[in-house]
Amino acid sequence: MNKDIERARERIEALSEEIEAHNYRYYVIDDPVISDARYDQMIRELEKLEKQYPSLASPYSPTQRVGGRPREGFATVRHLSPMMSLANAFDEGELRDFDRRVRQALLDEHVRYVVEPKIDGLAVSLFYENGLFSRGATRGDGETGEDISENLKTIRSVPLRLRRMVPALEVRGEAYMSKDSFAKLNEAREETGEPLFANPRNAAAGTLRQLDPRITASRGLNLFVYGIGYNEGVDPSDHSEVLKLLKELGFRVNEFHLFDNMDEVIKFCLDWKSRRFDLPYAVDGLVIKVSSLGQQQRLGATMKSPRWAIAYKFPPEQAVTTVKNIFVRVGRTGALTPTAEMEPVRVAGTTVSRATLHNEDNIREKDIRIGDRVLIQKAGDIIPEVIAVLPDERKGNEKVWSMPSECPSCGSRVVRAEGEAAVRCTNMACPAKLWEGLIHFSSRNTMDITGLGPAVLAQILAGGLIHDPADLYSLRYEDLVALERMGPKSVQNLLGAVEASKKNSLSRLIFALGIRHVGERAAKILAERYESLEILMGAKEEDLIAIPEIGPKIASSIVSFFAQEQNVQVIDKLVKAGVNTRAEKKGSGSGMLAGKVFVLTGALENFSRQEAQEIVERLGGKVSSSASRSTDYVVAGDKPGSKYDKALALGIPILDEKGFREITGMD
């Protein structure tokens, strides 16, 4: 086989695999690890290769898909009309190519363009029946999405009733989080030791996928609508008319501009490059659409994108500054993360003085040295990153940086595992690892020890009161009350929260241990498979790999974690302290709710959605995301949604919070 073709095949396969991995992180688990610019670069490289070697192009290529699959935890709904993605343009030439293709296809008819800001958020679809909000969903794979109706209802700019009746209307929009709300959310998460969101889009996506609508409501999401997917009873002929109609119906519509030619569009796009930083929300480009709906219909679409619209993507704003120093931060898993300290410079509307350098390989690849002049930008206009060094500006006194061979926090040896980019501290008792690990151990989604924030933890550690997570259960009143700003009431509340955490589920404890690669989902799967933590500790790697969703990397990490004597000692202390290490049995005959199916809707006063679900599952029942004839009970809190109405229609017993407490034996 021709060597060029073979190399192209290998590159196409590698790119496809990497892009799909990033699609999963972005669309499914809401945890992107690369910038939009890098993702776009990979897509464009793959498109170029597939165009150059059409015989190697696969119908299953990432270039032929719209987005990710729906995520578990929500019901799946089918869109009445597909939600397609947009092709991208990155410069004036690509905009003119788009204009040329449009005019050629329309036989040089006059074309008017509508231009709107491209909000950096999460695409959603809203469906209305007879003027009333019926359901809402994420884009998903374009054909089907996740039913997030309850969460969309918490966005106050989403009308629950249209200003006039329309028989059927499917509206497309973008849910987003403002820059101010994003900053406040990350500040709050930092206080409680929770992972920070990378950007407002990531935060909006995670917020709309919360199982508890009260959390969604607290985060201040907003929404702009920008189009109609399906309708009965309205008949606009132009996209500008669509936007005016949507505004009349009560939707929040962003500003839009009509232009008679591409020259005007390009001038507008260039003028907007700097203006975007003045907006209270993130905008990553402008959307250009053929305004005539008749022309749109004739232009049609490819398998993934309409031919009548394109997204002009803004280049990230960049600036030049000097690297003053490189320091290292140690995370809870022991990973050493190098960070550049720089001369302050203004970029994308704010002053930047630090930027993560990710890992040693990144520094070597870019040849970043202390004293270098560097080009920086903000990923997503939020997170500072070093793009490149300016070698022509070197003076000869720049210093090559090396990763320290010892941990900067505790002085222990650091190691780099084969195949990994991260360098890690090997000392479990490392103060930096302990600090980060304790924050994770006590956070809301793990052991949920309220009152144990970073400030309190800092005092407890400084006082030498704890040396590992198990020591939290031996804290004494007299030691805590002697700490600064720890009054008797605060101490009592903290000790009460520590005591209450002993009764948490096994899945919470597994997640809290901080085993590498074991997230919340994997912890639940393990707790369902093993009756106790002690049995899990003895599991072999081949047994773990045989469990669905537990791959070789997770299995190896689990076995390695429990093979370390210091970890076994910590778990032994947890057991002696009375922390629950056993799973509640489920299924037939294994609890008072065995075989019963519950549906939760509305806000409960004394339970979060997750807590109510854990109670049901602990007693042998199951929680479903949608009501059906197989549902035994619907638990309805404040402002229940469509599940409540369906329960009434099907005659399913409905419990209020008091009834829920009674049926679960809590009263």
> What is the token pair recorded at 176?
């987003």
The CA radius of gyration of the chain, in Å to the nearest whole number, is 27
Contact, 355 vs 385, CB < 8 A? Answer: yes
Please give the structure tokens belonging to residue 183: 């900053």
Q: How far apart are CA 194 and CA 196, in angstroms?
A: 6
Could you give the angle at the alpha carbon of 339 between the alpha carbons of 336 and 344, nearest 5°? 165
Helix axes 179-192 and 454-462, enclosed angle (nearest 10): 30
Please, how many CA atoms are within 13 Å of residue 123, restricted to the half-sphere of its CB? 22
Q: 335: closest CA among 280, 407, 400, 443? A: 407
**Which of 333, 392, 331, 390 shows the shortest CA–CA distance to 356?**
331
* CA angle, 497 then 503 then 508, to 5°: 90
Q: Which amino acid is at 565?
A: E
CA-based nearest residue to 238, from 297, 285, 187? 297
Measure the CA–CA gap between 434 and 440, rounded to whole angstroms.
Answer: 10
Query: What residues are labeled active site?
Result: 118
**Euclidean distance between CA atoms 278 and 381, whole angstroms:** 12
Tell me, rounded to whole angstroms, the distance of Cα 203 from its chain centroid: 6
Task: Report the alpha-carbon distance of residue 298 to residue 278 in Å, rounded.
Answer: 38
Which are the contacts of 239, defined by CB distance < 8 A and separation ≥ 6?
Answer: 114, 227, 289, 290, 291, 292, 293, 296
